[in-house]
Amino acid sequence: MPSNNPSNTDEHSSPKVGFISLGCPKALVDSERILTELRKDGYEVVPTYQDADVVVVNTCGFIDSAKKESLDTIGEALNENGKVIVTGCMGANAEDITNIHPNVLAVSGPHAYEQVVGAVHEYVPPSKEHDPFVDLIPPQGIKLTPRHYAYLKISEGCNHRCTFCIIPSMRGDLVSRPAGDVFAEAKGLVKSGVKELLVISQDTSAYGVDTKYKLEFHDGQPIRTKMLDLCKALGDLGVWVRLHYVYPYPHVDDIIPLMAEGKILPYLDIPFQHGSPKILKAMKRPGAIDNTLTRIKKWREICPELTIRSTFIVGFPGETEDDFQQLLDFIEEAQLDRVGAFTYSPVDGATANDLADHVPEDIKEQRLARFMEKQAKISEARLQLKIGKTLAIIIDEVDEEGAIGRSQADAPEIDGMVYLNDETHHQVGDIVLAKITHADEHDLWAESV
Ligand code: SF4
């Protein structure tokens, strides 16, 4: 947030809030909710420290580097503005923040919307002249993503206890949002112009387990709080629906036909994390890996267009060369389209820290390089197969050099781009058909038809 604008606050104007959102899409959705509440209460959101009457920092506490970024950001906001309210994952352990920054005004944990808004009210009271019926906010609320796509958060928390992860201790057990509410939000987003819904949670395939798949109603129509039922309903909205953070439970098989029918995008983001049953057991991962390769094969038979994205951890404690080789064999067999990988790094409070046989740093790095080299070849070969095909492309950006978009196989921020050089006539949010002319290991080039 820049600091060099002069203040323009006066006693008659709306109170002003600066907002910094760090972390993952789930935190981004929290930020959107907080901002929507603040706008409803008449606050103006400003882009500079100097213009703000108070600054809210939504923190990420997932790994040590994210914690450091959060603490540095809070420090900067304190220096530049002085009035700082902290929320988000790192706020789950308030003393981690107050020990270093004792002058923050208030600290709350993740999805503590009312607490954050309450703290803002306490330190910068809302304007008495504010009239929620006159001060319009968009009906879909405040979105931090571009208008043509939006994240749709379907649940909070997680019932698993993966040994490398501290999310359950920060965000609690799974709490699914009622399907009627989720569907109503999705409909509102589509009405406001959103063309792509990105379904997110900590564990999308567990949606509704906590409510025993409760039956809900929306506009008199029944809708069950269950992944398949929600996907069917979202699939009728006529926009792209993309699923993130899906674990390979058996019922995931049921949504593949919806992808084959074109109801939802043929795209699955499944964090497999490893290919060795021994390591997966040590990680306490949900879903069995044993028959995963057979299932992937079957999914592709039903839906040949299916794109699978995944993430992996290399160098988990106890990982031997043999385990690592099993991981390489797994990615060779699975032929995944998009892959992110990290070396294992201990996170404060994670039970994996207590496991024996931590892998030396240099071996972790060597294994990561070997892994990435292998996967780069696989990804490149899979992208080459697209040359000559005509694909639907959603346009994300247009400038004087042309348009940049994504195919159905590419999620925003994490996957590749499709470049439509010299095609300056498109509008952001258009979905156009284009013939793929060139591919490298990450991106595609195309000409619209
Ligand atoms: S499934 Fe595992 S990695 Fe994902 S949020 Fe839950 S505990 Fe963390």
**Model confidence pLDDT, tens digit, residues 7-52:** 333 444 688 999 998 888 778 888 888 888 888 777 888 888 888 9
220 HSE (CA, 13 A, CB side):
0
Residue percentage of the chain with pLDDT more than 70? 93
Report the separation in Å between the CA atom of 204 and the middle of ligand 1, taken as the mean of its atom positions. 11
Residue 159 φ/ψ, nearest 5 degrees: -90, -5
Asked if residue 157 lies in contact with residue 206, where contact means CB atoms within 8 angstroms, the answer is no
Ligand 1 atom having least distance to the Cα of 247? 1
Residue nearest to atom 2 of ligand 1 (CA): 162
pLDDT band at 132 (very low <50, low <70, confident <90, very high): very low
Two tokens at 268?
Answer: 């699955």
The pLDDT assigned to 59 comes to: 92
pTM above 0.85, yes or no: no
**Which residues are CB-contacts of 20 (< 8 A; sequence separation ≥ 6)?**
1, 55, 56, 57, 58, 73, 77
Residue nearest to atom 8 of ligand 1 (CA): 165
Residue nearest to atom 5 of ligand 1 (CA): 202
Within 6 A (CB) of ligand 1 lie 158, 160-162, 165, 167-168, 202-203, 286
d(C-alpha 31, C-alpha 37), whole Å: 10
Among 202, 204, 249, 347, say which to mutate for ligand 1: greatest number of ligand atoms within 8 Å of CB: 202
Ligand 1 atom having least distance to the Cα of 245? 4
* 253-287 pLDDT per residue, tens: 999 999 999 999 999 999 999 999 999 999 998 65
The pLDDT assigned to 230 comes to: 95
Among 26, 89, 155, 160, say which to mutate for ligand 1: greatest number of ligand atoms within 8 Å of CB: 160
Ligand 1 atom having least distance to the Cα of 159? 6
Residue nearest to atom 1 of ligand 1 (CA): 160
d(C-alpha 86, C-alpha 70), whole Å: 10
